[in-house]
Amino acid sequence: MELTLKNITKTYPGGVTALKNLSLTIPTGMFGLLGPNGAGKSTLMRSIASLQEIDTGSITLGDIDVIREPDSLRRVLGYLPQDFGLYPNVDAVTMLSHIAALKGLGSSGGQKTMVEALLQRTNLWQHRKKKLGGYSGGMRQRFGIAQALLGKPKLIIVDEPTAGLDPEERNRFLNLLSEIGENVIVILSTHIVDDVSEVCGRMAIIDQGRVMAENEPRKAIEAIRGKTWRMEIDRADLPQLQREHVVISTRLAGGRTIIHVYNEEHPGPRFEAAEPDLQDVYFTTLGGTLQEAYE
């Protein structure tokens, strides 16, 4: 199954155009959607989830026309928005059972079996009777995935799911998403490059409502191998170097300032070859340097 977006445009009242003739094809598996804040990621996710109307274009999931058949889409959709509310005085079992009933998912016995299986899968079984208001950030996100998985969806959308999680919870959450993404379409919308690098088989980078690049992460990295250079500098020298080179990132490492630059050839004697990563791809793409290489 594929999710296909063709020529999507969305302009809000006031004249802000959040999506500009955007097209993407998203296959089964983990798909990363990278972009800075304000790039249009959340608008795109809400549009795919049929939570807001687009101005022009089409969205199809398999044989479902999302624009014309939003109810059909919602029956096979799992959605975890960036901010979602919880009833703080309700426990996980009660809340998931209530959501399952609202979705009309089988008999009470079937709902009970489904809820228990999801709590086991998301490692919340031992906390199933704990009030949701007492959940940690990671537990809240895992509960969010549990509710998104109710009804065995074919498309799952998660928006900035690891923001604010500690490293252990982040790893646990990404491992869970990877497992889920083996059989369904999972769209991971984020500005955290490492999340996409670690779990996504394909990705797109968007900015100002447009697709700037689409590729497999490993191929995107390979495209700038041999063209990415690093140098340790004094911070005061940065403005001059930015005038002389395409500086794609500035990093602090052990108290030192390290710059990465993009150049087809060796940029100078103080530079050494850098092993590129997806963060280099991300910043290079946003700077416009890589657009030709991807096309």
Q: Give me the pLDDT at residue 110, please.
A: 78
pLDDT, mean of residues 23-48: 93
pLDDT-derived band at 169 (thresholds 50, 70, 90) equals: confident
pLDDT-derived band at 288 (thresholds 50, 70, 90) equals: low
Task: Calculate the alpha carbon distances from 70 to 24, 46, 186, 225 in Å.
Answer: 19, 12, 18, 43
Average model confidence (pLDDT) for the chain? 89
Maximal C-alpha separation, the chain: 72
Take residue 84 and report the two structure tokens written for it. 């979602």
pLDDT exceeds cutoff 90 at 216: yes
- List the strands of the sheet with 272-273, edge to edge: 246-253, 256-262, 228-233, 272-273
pLDDT-derived band at 215 (thresholds 50, 70, 90) equals: very high
Least confident of 46-50, 174-178, 226-230: 174-178
Domain 2-216 of CATH type 2.10.60.10: no
Q: Give me the pLDDT at residue 63, please.
A: 94
3-state SS track over the chain: CEEEEEEEEEECCCCCEEEEEEEEEEECEEEEEECCCCCCHHHHHHHHCCCCCCCEEEEEECCEECCCCHHHHHCCEEEECCCCCCCCCCEHHHHHHHHHHHCCCCCHHHHHHHHHHHHHHCCCHHHCCCEHHHCCHHHHHHHHHHHHCCCCCCEEEEECCCCCCCHHHHHHHHHHHHHHCCCCEEEEEECCHHHHHHHCCEEEEEECCEEEEEECHHHHHHHCCCCEEEEEECHHHHHHHHHHCEEEEEEEECCEEEEEEECCCCCCCCCEECCCCHHHHHHHHHCCCCHHHHC
Task: Calculate the alpha carbon distances from 123 to 64, 225, 241 in Å.
Answer: 33, 40, 49
Q: Give me the pLDDT at residue 154, please.
A: 94
In this predicted model, what pLDDT tens digit does every residue of 107-165 receive, in sequence order? 667 788 889 999 998 889 999 999 999 998 888 888 988 999 898 899 999 988 887 78
Question: How far apart are the C-alpha atoms of 50 and 203, rounded to whole Å?
Answer: 22
Q: Roughly what angle, to the nearest 10 degrees, separates helices 108-121 and 137-148?
A: 140
The more confidently predicted of residues 104 and 218 is: 218
Q: Give me the pLDDT at residue 78, please.
A: 93
